[in-house]
Chain A
Amino acid sequence: GDSVTQMEGPVTLSEEAFLTINCTYTATGYPSLFWYVQYPGEGLQLLLKATKADDKGSNKGFEATYRKETTSFHLEKGSVQVSDSAVYFCALSEIYAGNNRKLIWGLGTSLAVNP
């Protein structure tokens, strides 16, 4: 079945460092890909998305490019801030069985940014 694999955390960086969180997927069709962020004690927020190959999603300085050839959707940010400390989830959504959709989640990567 479909699956998402993302790099294990925790990831600890200093402020202004470059961030990469790897995410790869397996899917039988043509999924949409998402990054959600969960700040401490809060709910899940959509960070960015891409719906087809070579699309680049971007938001708040974060970027991810939908790479079909490598089945990847790595999250990057050029200069992280303390306020970026959170858990980041990679997910895919695919239509199946008619009109049903399901989000398949990675296990989440915890990011801690130190001042």
Chain B
Amino acid sequence: AAGVIQSPRHLIKEKRETATLKCYPIPRHDTVYWYQQGPGQDPQFLISFYEKMQSDKGSIPDRFSAQQFSDYHSELNMSSLELGDSALYFCASSQSLGQEETQYFGPGTRLLVL
């Protein structure tokens, strides 16, 4: 079965640079979520999109922005990168099914800021 695809899988950037992470949801899934997971921590919700519109916002820094495109893929844009942005970034997708909804996660993008 098709899964959530994320690219790149690994990314190394310098401080103050920008990074763009991409997420391709499972076909026919209408909702995309972005999470940040620091070492040894639980995932922290950043932002979500439903039918290409932002639906919820979590602890996403103002330096980050995201959008969902007409083909439902999503991009997380990160500017003025800081050392503390080094983390694993997950994208998850789901199909709106009310209480039955389940989020399926991609393999993550590991970002290292030097």
Contact = CB atoms under 8 A, between A and B. Distances in A.
A99 B31 CA distance: 11
Interface residues of A, number: 25
A44 B105 contact: yes
B70 interface: no
Give the dominant DSSP class at A's interface: strand
Chain B interface residue number, banded: 20 to 34
Contact of A101 (B101, B104, B105): B101
B104 to A, nearest CB: 6
Interface in B17-76: 31, 33, 40-43, 45, 48, 50, 55-56, 58
B71 to A, nearest CB: 22
Contacts of A49: 102
B99 A45 contact: no
A100 B107 CA distance: 24
A43 B107 contact: yes
Interface in B89-114: 90, 92, 94, 96, 98-108
A24 B83 CA distance: 34
B100 A32 contact: yes
A103 B45 contact: yes
Interface of B: 31, 33, 40-43, 45, 48, 50, 55-56, 58, 90, 92, 94, 96, 98-108
Interface of A: 30, 32, 34, 36, 42-46, 49, 51-52, 89, 93, 95, 97, 99-103, 105-108
